Amino acid sequence: MAPSYVPLVHPIGRFSPPADPNVTIVTPGVEDPTVEIAVTGTFTLRVVATDLAGNPPGEDTMEISVFADSCEAAQENPNGYDAPQGDLNDDCVVDFLDYAILATEWLDDRALITQQTYE
């Protein structure tokens, strides 16, 4: 998914509405606002701030990734993801579903050669 650009301007406590309808400024007009993102994806948040002294505005951007759940977030960790040994269905948990996969495949022979019988 291509990054969505979410402008957020903070001139002395006022916020412009985000360009993306899935992004909501929950607490506008405070020093530390809360932004709620209702869909998964990667968003770039641009913040522009001015002060009462009339100094030139300061600007910064940050990339925010929103995932469907904590497992997806862990798997997308830029520092790497170490899956639990035995997690056969990649849901970040070793449980009965993994055992069912193992049981279904138990003793399946997928060798590239035919089995030899020695007498």
Domain ranges in the chain are: 4-66
Which pLDDT value is given to residue 17? 60
Count Cβ atoms within 10 A of the Cβ of residue 88 and give its class: 0-12 exposed, 13-18 middle, 19 or more buried.
middle
pTM for this structure? Answer: 0.59
Which pLDDT value is given to residue 15? 55
Largest Cα–Cα separation, the chain: 94
* pLDDT > 90 in the chain, percent: 31
Distance, CA of 100 to CA of 91 (rounded, Å) = 14
pLDDT at 116 over 60: yes
Which pLDDT value is given to residue 91? 96
Q: Which residues are registered as beta bridge partners of 50?
A: 11
pLDDT at 107 over 80: yes
pLDDT digits (tens, 9 = 90+) for 45-92: 887 777 778 888 888 888 888 999 999 999 999 899 999 999 999 999
